[in-house]
Structure 1
């Protein structure tokens, strides 16, 4: 009888050990599942942010050309069309193909009115977001590093140098009337444009070509301590 009693106690202890092991395995499996779901969610968030950054790049190209998002109507107020946010005179092509070629030449007198060293800081939105070749020096860093992307970055970005403030960026659709149909909680992507004449890039001084470096940032829905999830893309664009 004494031997049987001891054997029953051993079974109880063994059962408890098995239960503890099974519980630990269950907790580890649950944690692994949650970790996998977080990784998937982060990947989807980054993928969405990259897609939105791509949209902003294309929107910036249309902005440079003065095109609406549908490619058929120019986004500026004329005798026949009305644009919600019109560019000032001589800062964008007015009527399309006939104006684009002569407009985007380094020798065109209107070109010097398009880009501003501080990107239109504290100016009307209609002249914001387009920078000169000297903007980086005035900012004391690459312009995009001192720009206000409105992503709640911590610490907040700001130019040093002679500008000494966060310079403006352009929200997707501002000058093209392009709609943005992102998921709830997603903010519009933004971009800046830097304009370079050929001689400023040490290309043939006789060239009239103009180049634009576009920096676009797309955002996800996740907001962390350092700011909102974002993806930054750059491209170089020349309309002629």
Structure 2
């Protein structure tokens, strides 16, 4: 009895089939690469947004600290140098004559007529005191021209002009982590017809004595974030 053994030929993959498989694999690789790049880009974008928000928050908190420091400086001026302070006001109360056009020691004053001429686009001659230096502001961005905190002693306490670095006169601790310590300016100006009664529970233009002058003060604080380019400016106005 003889056996008949049939041989099955090996299957062959045609070149066309190999080409189609290569195209499919390449398309899958390209798709995976695109998804990976998009995911990485979204992650970097989210990280950048979070970093900017943190930077802005740090600048805001620094400006808030300078605002409170200016209030302490004005309300509780020290005749003698406070602990950890660089300078002293040399008096316990500030008076209008302490405020000057060049913001000596951070105390500023402008003629009333100038306020009617101020325009952001016009040049330094008609600028607000608290505007950026490029617009004629009085901040004085030369840090070396101001009292420092390390060490706390300073030789220019009576001659420096521009913004007051945090703690210069009060001795409060510096803000940690920011690129530059926050600063403040205090402006003095007078206005008529602002008091409605003796207890000052309201502010109005119809005062009992319409020609009465009222002293007003405006504090402008400027805070810096982790980058010096990130800045926040806050203001408050009060009547003593």
Normalised to the residue count of structure 2, the TM-score between the two structures is: 0.67
Aligned CA distance change for structure 1 residues 215 and 135 (closer, same or farther; 3 Å): farther
> How is 1:1-240 mapped onto 2 (pairs within 5 angstroms)?
4-66=14-76, 75-77=78-80, 84-89=86-91, 92-93=92-93, 111-120=95-104, 128-134=105-111, 137=114, 139-145=125-131, 146-148=137-139, 150=141, 168-183=162-177, 185-199=178-192, 204-207=210-213, 209-223=214-228, 228-239=229-240
Q: 1: distance between equivalents of 2:34 and 2:186?
A: 55
Normalised to the residue count of structure 1, the TM-score between the two structures is: 0.67
Residues 136 and 142, structure 1, Cα contact 8 Å, conserved in 2: no
Q: Deviations over 1:153-173 (max 9, x none)?
A: xxxxxxxxxxxxxx6111111
Unaligned runs of 5+ in 2: 1-10, 115-123, 132-136, 144-160, 195-204
Aligned residue for 2:152?
Answer: none
Residues 76 and 83, structure 1, Cα contact 8 Å, conserved in 2: no
Q: 2: distance between equivalents of 1:200 and 1:148?
A: 31
Match of 1:48, SS?
helix
Q: Work out which of the two has the higher radius of gyration on C-alpha atoms and give 1 or 2.
A: 2
Unaligned runs of 5+ in 1: 68-74, 94-102, 104-110, 121-127, 153-166
Give the root-mean-square deviation of aligned CA atoms: 3.1
Q: Pick the structure with more helix per residue.
A: 1
Q: 2: distance between equivalents of 1:40 and 1:83?
A: 35
Match of 2:63, SS?
helix
Aligned positions, number? 186
Q: What is the CA distance between 1:64 and its match in structure 2?
A: 0.7
Residues 112 and 189, structure 2, Cα contact 8 Å, conserved in 1: no
Q: Deviations over 1:169-207 (max 9, x none)?
A: 111111111111311x53110011111224397874325
